[in-house]
Structure 1
Amino acid sequence: MKFGEQLQQEIFPPWRLSYISYDVLKHELKTRQQDHAWTADDESEFVKKLENELEKVYDFVTAKLGEVEARISYCERTIQTFISNPTWSSDQNWSIMDDALTEVLFDVNDLAKFTRLNYTAFQKIIKKHDKWTGLSLKQDFIPQLRTKPLDKQRFDVAIVFISALHDLCKYRGKPRPSSTFGDEEYNSSVSDEKNTSKYWVHPDNITEVKSIIMLHLPVFIHNKEKRYEASDSTVSSVYLDNEEFSLYTSLLQRDEGAESIRLKWHGPLTTPDVSVERTTHLAEWADGNSIKERFQLTTDQVQSFLSGSLSTDQLCNQMISRGVDNKLVEECRFISSGIEESIKEKHLQPTCRIFYNRTSFQTPENAGLRVNIDNELTFIREDNFGDTVRRAPDEWRRSEVGIDFPFSYLDESEVLRFPYAVVEVKTSAATAESTSWLRKLLDSHLVHEVPRFSKYLHGASYLFRDRIPLLPWWMSEMEIDIRRPRATNFGLTRSKSFKPLIDGQYKRAMEAEQLRMDVVNEAAQDPLHSFLDTDPAASSSNWENRPHRMRSTLVTKGEDPLNYGPLHERKIKKKDREAGNLGEDINFDHGDIRLDMATDANNTSEKKMFGKDGMFVKDPNNPNAVIPVKKVKVEPKVFFSNERTFIAWLQFCALLLTVALNLLNFGDSVSRIAGGLFIGIAAIIAIYALYQFEKRAWMINRRVVGRYDDLWGPAVLCVLLVGALIVNFYLRFR
């Protein structure tokens, strides 16, 4: 699809006039070149129009961001009023505020898509300009894009505030249950790689993924003593390695005891504390588990520790003098001594810096589930390999490199900007089975799974590709488009009236559906009661959630008349019928179905009667009960699906027939025998496919409730093909 068509399809109608006039700019390029060659005046006028469009889009985004901030502030003040005045703290008021926050969240998501789409449009139109005119506007227009950067619009702060307020609404202003669980970023831990999965997210979908997760998990904030700022999400890490890249090679080959060592800090360069971390894969002292260890240093101590002038004993003595607990001192001694030994023996030095903005989602009271999203991922060279000096001798990191993404002042050979966001999901076994919304997200079109993805391995394999012979397996994934079309209603969408839809439903409908599913799950413990419910609506919902039946349960003539009748809430005891106690007419009402069942004292079998729908099916959970069958219209796509299945079988027959004809025409006697076998198999398959096609069409036309899958066809086909190959092998081998 051309970008112009894509832009028209993805435009949010209420904001249509605020988008870039892509078609107008494209038409301007074409018409001017049709009349005459591109001149300096044409270039000047086109640049003015482009700057005007950029200013229009940027001003709209800025105004909308201000509006979002004002609405969040209003919700915050209102919630504080609810907390301070219990008379206002009703469930209805909390629900209204929660709905208002959901509206704001959807606007943030729409604004992120608006910004991304317009930024892509500017890139496309500039590229077309350079291609059609032969000029280089891309380089000349960079200053304007930097003054009004659409690629740096940040929505994380708004999502964090919405998450905090949404959490207050969920708990009606009360704090969440307290927990002793701390931030895993600052505590030693054993990591289980089996319960950690990693995914890539395209920039078009980042805000939507964050919003979906936020509706189920709150944003985890490490420092709650200060108001959240954009710089609080920045994370920087300097990885150590040597000129032979021995750590890189061991990690890539997943050797036993392979380790990675990094220096990590949050926020700007002025952050006083730096975390020294070592991750060891299949560590012997951890029973073969992968373990992550860390201890803290001040910024001034890092260079001394790397150079060896600050030993482990000196570091521990300083901790003891500050009154640190002996247990923590001994733990630090063990970790520090191991890292110190690796630095000396392997001649490690700062090699690569990795920068990203991290948003973490986790409930403080539950350590079983944590989701990290790292976007604006950037890799920067920190090495002094060869004759190039990037760090001063007394520095352990480049002082001129801060947290100002996209680091446009760096040479392109020293920086790599990763095009996707990285999602890391850490779950326990129990949480993984119970979190259905997370499974839906990870199976959706919004994410692309990349098992065992490593930031350091990816950055080093690109920045030092001349020195490294081995590359990670996922490098080939960089050549494909990870975006997929939306296959289901999953995600955040808008209705025709632009009302927020979550997974294709209004929020209230989602809550009602969740409540209904909880009731169904509870009733599943008593199957008979669940299908003999007095509430017609409940019976209908139960019918929709019935398990697939392995055989047709439609009632046909000649069967016991008990198979006909409505679903009734009162069981007629078998002994009463046998005793002949039903001598009168009994009227049963169920929904819009009414059936008169006449009985006789001398005849215990009921006469056959029909309700309005005219057809019922047996209840597999109760032999004496039946279920009304609703007449439904068969959609044309059902017939087309049957036809596609038939055509797929014929395609395989054609392929097999082509092979057979080649063997017959160009082979020896053995090949002709194999060709004859393949022709016979192809003919059998074609006839069988036609039979199945006609049978399914007959069942669809008559609404037959039965099996539409094929039990024997694929199995027999495999047996025939394997038999033909065995015969061919035997004849050829002989």
Structure 2
Amino acid sequence: MKYGSELQDNVFAPWRLSYIAYDVLKMELKTRQLDHQWNDADEADFVELLHNELNKVYDFVTAKLREVEARITYCERTIGTFQKNPTMSSEANWGIMDDALTEVLFDVNDLAKFTRVNYIGFQKILKKHDKWTNRSLQHSFVEALRSKPLDKQRFDVAIVYISSLHDLCRLRGQPRNGNSAAGGDQNAFERATSKYWIHPDNVTEVKAIIMLHLPVLVFNQNKKYEESDSAISSVYYDNYDFDLYTGRLQRDEGAEAIRFRWYGPYESPNIFIERKTHHAEWLNGASVKDRFPLKEDKVNSYVAGEYTPEQIVEQMRAKGTADEDTINSVNFISTGIQTSFKEKNLTPICRIFYNRTAFQLPGDQKLRISLDSDMTYIREDDLDGVKRRDNNNWRRTDAHIDYPFSHLPKKDVYRFPYAVLETKLQTHLGQEPPQWLTTLLDSHLVHEVPRFSKYLHGASFFYGERLPLLPWWLSEMNTDIRKPRSMNAGLSRSKSFKPLIDGQYRHAMEEEERRMERQERTAKSVAASDGSSLAGSTVHSQIAGPPSITIQPAGNVDASKAKSSKKAKSGGDNLSSTYSPSIGNNEKGVMYRGGAVSPIEIEPVGEAVAIDIVEEDGNGKDKGPVKRRVKVKVEPKVFFANERTFISWLQFCALLLTVALNLLNFGDFVSRISGALFICIAGVMSIYALYRFERRAWMINRQHTGRYDDIWGPAVLCVFLVAALIVNFYLRFR
């Protein structure tokens, strides 16, 4: 799609006159080019037009930001009045303030999209100018764009304040219980992590959606939030054989990732020494991340082995601020990391910078979501003979947190084009993803990238020629991760420009959340009251959070027991939800909905799962099985397996063709007949193999429910070969 058409599709109608006049600028370029040769006067006029458009757009953004700040301040004062005066703290007033904050949030989202669309518009028109006129305006116009930047996401502070006020409205003015600083305690706990890429067009929208359900986690509530508070910098260590990289990529037992991390400004006094271990032996094979803090002036001596774990522990005991368990943990971690430095000869390799927005209930680590934007990779090594660190310092001193690091050499900087979303669930505690999160992750706004690693990606970009293996997701960088917009997911507006959340008004969304909460409470009460009846069955999980699905082998199910269980539960709500079942070892099973309400037969077929759900009518009679299908994400290795099968068939055909050519070229009359037969067989089987390859690829893409194995191919090939051999023997012995 041409950018002019794309711009028209993304225009927010009330702000139409404030967008860049892209068509006018393009027409100015074209008409002057057709009329005469582009000259200095044309260049001056065009530059003046560009400055006028830039001033118009930038002034509009600045004015809107001031308006947003004023509206946030008004809401903050009004909420403070509600808290001080209980007589004004009514449900209606809190609802009015929630509506006002939602409208502000939508304006922030629209403003973020407005800023990005216009920034891309200026880049496109500058590129088109240089191409048509053979002049270099892109470089000379850089200073103007830097003085009035449109390329930075400048809305995080507004989102944080809106999140705080929205949370107060949700709790009707009561402060959130829990320690916000506890969210930073990431020492040795398990969690299941999923990772996604987000296109820059969708970053602010995703933040806004999450903020409506989870508050932004602010570690220090005692200071005013600033943009630098979201900055995170990490220096990753490895050796020049990239042993840590290879171990992490291959997911070897005990593979480590070691990094030194600090939060906020470059001058941060506390550095966190962190280690990620895959299947740690000391935790019975569980993967874990552990860390301990260290003063910045002690880091170099710790890396050199001069500042020992014993000295760290002695200082902690002398201060008396930590208990004995914490001291022992720090001793264990610091000793293990320092041992890795000595044995593996580790050195700084790569620095990763990004701005993080974290969403989490204070003090509750069951669900944590983080969104990292402005991700930038910076080289720290001296593999190419360039000295980047002074006096063997543990990090380079010429790179702080001044994104986009334009002052650094281009070969030392790589700006990742997407934001990274991570969802972290403590699944070992029974935590299930809420329905709103499932809707978001299934929407057009995110692109799933399983096992994505920031360090692996950066190392593969800078040192790819030195690495024996590369991560699978590099091929995804060549594709556009944007998807067609779904009106039932994300933030949108009605024809009257009223805010819509997942295609619903906010009140409808809140009513849906309250309904889900009621269902959850009902399910928990049913599970508690019928615990004795469930104790004798083989149910493996309980309802926690949204209605979940429990799977048990079909062979263990007794039909009469299932029916009696169904009748016993008929007094409860018949829960319905969107299910995401997980089938272990592709076994046929029975699923129970909402605490064993109705049995669901599951039969895995190919890469999809076909489900027969037994539903009841109003009289309690079965209406019969209803076919449902649950789509399962197809991994790339499935396509590669299909390709390997095709190549194996081609290898056999090539071998058969080699035999046939030898018989034709160097044999007698009988040999030439046999050779001709083998050539025919090789040709037929090659065409058949191609047909099967294309057929399987089509089935995989559409998650077809047919058979994936080849029933007739091998048998027919054997028959052809035996027939050719019989003909050969007959002709030879005749």
TM-score normalised by length of structure 2 = 0.73
Which residue is 2:441 aligned to? 442
Which AA in structure 2 matches 1:63?
A: A
Which residue is 1:492 aligned to? 491
Matched, 1:262 2:259: yes
In structure 2, the CA distance between the partners of 1:124 and 1:625, relative to structure 1 (3 Å rule), is closer
CA contact (8 A) 1:670 1:731 kept: no
Q: Percent identity?
A: 55
CA displacement at 1:288 relative to structure 2: 1.3
Rounded Cα–Cα distance in structure 1 between residues aligned with 2:65 and 2:20: 18
Rounded Cα–Cα distance in structure 1 between residues aligned with 2:505 and 2:181: 36
Which residue is 2:399 aligned to? 401
Which residue is 1:301 aligned to? 298
Which AA in structure 1 matches 2:446?
A: V
Which residue is 1:223 aligned to? 220
Question: What pairs up with 1:13-162 in 2 under 5 angstroms?
Answer: 13-162=13-162
Rounded Cα–Cα distance in structure 2 between residues aligned with 1:670 and 1:462: 48
CA contact (8 A) 1:670 1:728 kept: no
Which residue is 1:588 aligned to? none
Q: Deviations over 1:479-507 (max 9, x none)?
A: 10000001342110011111101111111
SS of equivalent to 2:189? strand
Matched, 1:327 2:288: no
Which AA in structure 1 matches 2:165?
A: L
CA contact (8 A) 1:415 1:463 kept: no
In structure 2, the CA distance between the partners of 1:154 and 1:733, relative to structure 1 (3 Å rule), is farther
Which residue is 2:501 aligned to? 502
Q: Deviations over 1:603-638 (max 9, x none)?
A: xxxxxxxxxxxxxxx983417999xxxxxxxxxxxx
| Structure 1 gaps, min length 5 | 533-537, 548-617, 627-665, 679-712
Which AA in structure 1 matches 2:351?
A: R
Q: Deviations over 1:365-418 (max 9, x none)?
A: 532111000000000011233531111115222222111100110111000000
Matched, 1:204 2:201: yes
SS of equivalent to 2:233? strand
When the two structures are aligned, how many residues end up with a matched partner?
Answer: 578
Rounded Cα–Cα distance in structure 2 between residues aligned with 1:178 and 1:428: 18
Q: Deviations over 1:86-124 (max 9, x none)?
A: 011001000000000000000000000001111111111
Rounded Cα–Cα distance in structure 1 between residues aligned with 2:320 and 2:412: 43
Which one of the candidate residues 375, 389, 392 is aligned to 2:390?
392
CA displacement at 1:344 relative to structure 2: 1.6
CA contact (8 A) 2:681 2:720 kept: no
CA displacement at 1:82 relative to structure 2: 0.2
Matched, 1:424 2:422: yes
Rounded Cα–Cα distance in structure 2 between residues aligned with 1:62 and 1:350: 41
CA displacement at 1:128 relative to structure 2: 0.8
Which residue is 1:9 aligned to? 9
SS of equivalent to 2:261? strand
Rounded Cα–Cα distance in structure 2 between residues aligned with 1:73 and 1:105: 13
CA contact (8 A) 2:490 2:501 kept: yes
Q: Deviations over 1:522-545 (max 9, x none)?
A: 99999999999xxxxx9xxx9999
Which AA in structure 2 matches 1:317?
A: E
Matched, 1:275 2:272: yes
CA displacement at 1:43 relative to structure 2: 1.4
CA contact (8 A) 2:493 2:499 kept: yes
Which residue is 1:587 aligned to? none
Rounded Cα–Cα distance in structure 1 between residues aligned with 2:394 and 2:304: 9
In structure 2, the CA distance between the partners of 1:165 and 1:522, relative to structure 1 (3 Å rule), is closer
Matched, 1:336 2:325: no
Which one of the candidate residues 264, 289, 292 is aligned to 2:289?
292
Rounded Cα–Cα distance in structure 1 between residues aligned with 2:39 and 2:363: 66
Rounded Cα–Cα distance in structure 1 between residues aligned with 2:618 and 2:143: 72
Which residue is 1:572 aligned to? none
In structure 2, the CA distance between the partners of 1:88 and 1:253, relative to structure 1 (3 Å rule), is same
Matched, 1:722 2:702: no
Which AA in structure 2 matches 1:730?
A: V
CA displacement at 1:44 relative to structure 2: 1.6
CA contact (8 A) 1:57 1:118 kept: yes
SS of equivalent to 1:189? coil
CA contact (8 A) 2:181 2:220 kept: no
Rounded Cα–Cα distance in structure 2 between residues aligned with 1:120 and 1:519: 46
Rounded Cα–Cα distance in structure 2 between residues aligned with 1:492 and 1:546: 21
Which AA in structure 2 matches 1:428?
A: Q
Which one of the candidate residues 369, 380, 383 is aligned to 2:381?
383
CA contact (8 A) 2:183 2:365 kept: no
Which residue is 2:188 aligned to? 189
Which residue is 1:654 aligned to? none
Rounded Cα–Cα distance in structure 2 between residues aligned with 1:140 and 1:117: 21
In structure 2, the CA distance between the partners of 1:445 and 1:625, relative to structure 1 (3 Å rule), is closer
CA contact (8 A) 2:190 2:426 kept: no
Matched, 1:359 2:348: no
Rounded Cα–Cα distance in structure 1 between residues aligned with 2:254 and 2:522: 51
SS of equivalent to 2:94? helix
Structure possessing the higher radius of gyration over alpha carbons: 1
Rounded Cα–Cα distance in structure 2 between residues aligned with 1:528 and 1:125: 69
CA contact (8 A) 1:670 1:732 kept: no
Q: What RMSD in Å do the two structures reach over aligned CA positions?
A: 3.4
| Structure 2 gaps, min length 5 | 527-564, 580-614, 624-675, 689-703, 724-734
Which AA in structure 2 matches 1:373?
A: L
CA contact (8 A) 1:281 1:291 kept: yes
Rounded Cα–Cα distance in structure 2 between residues aligned with 1:290 and 1:718: 35
Which AA in structure 1 matches 2:506?
A: K
Which residue is 1:461 aligned to? 460
Which one of the candidate residues 234, 240, 244 is aligned to 2:241?
244
Matched, 1:477 2:476: yes
TM-score normalised by length of structure 1 = 0.73
CA displacement at 1:321 relative to structure 2: 2.1
SS of equivalent to 2:486? coil
Rounded Cα–Cα distance in structure 1 between residues aligned with 2:372 and 2:620: 57
Rounded Cα–Cα distance in structure 2 between residues aligned with 1:488 and 1:733: 60
| Larger deviation, residues 259-268 vs 130-139 | 130-139
In structure 2, the CA distance between the partners of 1:35 and 1:624, relative to structure 1 (3 Å rule), is closer
In structure 2, the CA distance between the partners of 1:206 and 1:44, relative to structure 1 (3 Å rule), is same
Q: Deviations over 1:414-472 (max 9, x none)?
A: 00000000001011337653511111111111000111111111111112234334221
In structure 2, the CA distance between the partners of 1:101 and 1:730, relative to structure 1 (3 Å rule), is same
CA displacement at 1:68 relative to structure 2: 0.5
Q: Deviations over 1:676-703 (max 9, x none)?
A: xx9xxxxxxxxxxxxxxxxxxxxxxxxx
